[in-house]
Structure 1
């Protein structure tokens, strides 16, 4: 689990709060109800344009994919967009275009699908009481959902990559969040007519997301960077299935930055976390080292201290472990955070 001790403690504290308040449990139940009462899709299919830049025309700079604007660690914009795509799959047949039928709040409202933690006071070391005016859990969910919609609407130059549209109210005062419209994975587009979301056809190029990603709580537990990293690796695994099966998939720096818009530290930390959670596995490999006798392949982790070695960089290769999503996301992540916390505490003690 990536991150220093303070970051790990913050994340564990947040997840414990979500567990104690049953936020994730209740959101999972709402998503399960939508799946059970709907079409029960075997996979949620996401067009790769959300996380992967389209190939630019010659001599043009590639536009960053929309996901790069949704990587705020505490934001729920990416999470909500994926949940909205899940809801559309449960309700709409392939090829059907978006038509919203839910209110933001209420028994079947969108706020039932998201889990949010209460505000934490660093001064007192406690969470703000839910009875405080305008600090109750439902109000917090509504505010964060409205903030997510604003973030999703403000993507790309001139909002060309906007992932939702929120119209103004009829009286011109404020926005009508109830009537938001979901856009396709590449965004609204530059035309007068918006690119409304539609469920992909079976033959369309799409990233397959297991339903358990939503039904077992992973959509609420993984960070936006971890979600974006997993989606990038999942796309690669489906684009190069033989390579994935034989030796795993990987990202070199240029492709990671230009095609997927992922920074090195964020990508590597996310891979470490996803591996610790059992959602991907690193494939053992060899690396080429230059010795006095020429290039030699050695297993990862070995070295020859008697020779001057110059390692030629090879990125880590990964295989997807989609069955890992069957585990309870909250319990699994909290256990791994505790393991990481103890390891960091031991390391800090040894330094002292």
Structure 2
């Protein structure tokens, strides 16, 4: 079995496990704090969280940026672990609680307490399976606690949180620090919701309340953040001014966003999930390769991407489960036959002089 097929099979089983276990309760909890809070339509994320302020030099596609040179979101991409999902959930919860420009002084405890049943453990879905022997529920709870503790350690190492109670990793409380990358373990900047005067990208609130943050992979989430940023700050004009389109070149993807080729290729999954519409140049094959490619070719164009505003309004686990099952059978990332017509099929791109390969 090809390696990619094996990954899809594992992911499919993981999603089924999450659906049977805690995913419904976690998404219901997110919906509840949104309804009982300020009900923001989008969640603001400071731009420097996903994009370097200056472009870093990458000489070889096979040698990505050193970890220290990548923006914070790219540093949290890992096959296992929930640090990125955990942190994004913190930003969501903070913005349900306080207005732009304001700090959140009383974040939730990591685990429920007698005084308050709201907790981070109740807002983060973790694939914590039974490892046996012993009592199954206790084993799952221990596994989840371990993964959350590892995520807290990672976030603390990146100066995104700071402990507020007692020594040790099994702490109940922490203070959120600013996600702009300026904090250090020695001098943390308390978190406040980005104000309108700051540069920030926006994530639909349904990304959290419909469970997308839990069922997408780390690479898919990091790529999605890149596309949200590019769509806001680097749009390309089209014949239909109501449709925003963007593209990301290879140099930009690596030097600014710190993302490798594998992460970029998740546009296939994001398109199949109908979270993005991807416009592929005619000369480019499904796998991203070019026909008759030469280094000095003058008519190379990147993939273009346009958002699908209604995409996040569906239940994430239903959508992803269907796509994964189809991928497992057909071997390709594809949309349902009942999917709506792609928005970009009725637009024409205006000429551009950007010739770099994505």
> Smaller-chain TM-score range?
0.7 to 0.9
Q: Which has the larger displacement, 330-339 or 248-257?
A: 248-257
Q: Which 5+ residue runs of structure 2 have no aligned equivalent?
A: 57-65, 286-290, 333-358
State the Cα distance separating 1:3 from its structure 2 match: 6.7
1:273 maps to which of 269, 274, 278: 269
State the Cα distance separating 1:45 from its structure 2 match: 0.7
Q: Specify the SS of the correspondent of 2:172.
A: helix
Aligned equivalent of 1:294: none
Aligned equivalent of 1:158: none
CA offsets 1:211-264 (integer angstroms, 9 cap, x no match): 100000101001111111011011111113453766721111111111000001
Aligned equivalent of 2:6: 6
2:93 maps to which of 87, 95, 116: 87
Aligned equivalent of 1:254: 251
State the Cα distance separating 1:28 from its structure 2 match: 0.6
Q: Counterparts in 2 of 1:308-327, with a 5 A limit?
A: 312-327=299-314
Q: Which 5+ residue runs of structure 1 have no aligned equivalent?
A: 122-127, 156-161, 288-299, 302-306, 346-352
State the Cα distance separating 1:73 from its structure 2 match: 2.4
CA offsets 1:170-212 (integer angstroms, 9 cap, x no match): xxx5246222111111235259541111101134221111110
Structure with greater helix share of residues: 1
Residues in 1 aligned to 2:51 and 2:181: alpha-carbon distance in whole angstroms? 12
Aligned equivalent of 1:239: 233
Larger Rg: 1
Aligned equivalent of 2:160: 163
Structure 2 contact 107–175 (Cα < 8 Å) conserved: no
Aligned equivalent of 2:350: none
1:210 maps to which of 204, 209, 234: 204
Structure 2 contact 44–194 (Cα < 8 Å) conserved: yes
State the Cα distance separating 1:132 from its structure 2 match: 3.7
Measured at CA, do residues 309 and 228 of structure 1 come closer, stay the same or move farther in structure 2, by a change above 3 Å?
closer
Residues in 2 aligned to 1:323 and 1:203: alpha-carbon distance in whole angstroms? 28
* Aligned: 1:282 with 2:274: no
* Aligned: 1:119 with 2:103: no
Measured at CA, do residues 285 and 99 of structure 1 come closer, stay the same or move farther in structure 2, by a change above 3 Å?
same
Aligned equivalent of 2:76: 70
> How many residues of Structure 1 are paired with residues of Structure 2 in the alignment?
308
Q: Specify the SS of the correspondent of 2:139.
A: coil
Measured at CA, do residues 130 and 117 of structure 1 come closer, stay the same or move farther in structure 2, by a change above 3 Å?
farther
Residues in 2 aligned to 1:286 and 1:10: alpha-carbon distance in whole angstroms? 33
State the Cα distance separating 1:96 from its structure 2 match: 1.0
Residues in 1 aligned to 2:138 and 2:293: alpha-carbon distance in whole angstroms? 62
Residues in 1 aligned to 2:245 and 2:85: alpha-carbon distance in whole angstroms? 27
Structure 2 contact 160–183 (Cα < 8 Å) conserved: no
The TM-score with structure 1 as length reference comes to 0.79
Q: Specify the SS of the correspondent of 1:209.
A: strand
Aligned equivalent of 1:149: 152
Residues in 1 aligned to 2:264 and 2:218: alpha-carbon distance in whole angstroms? 11
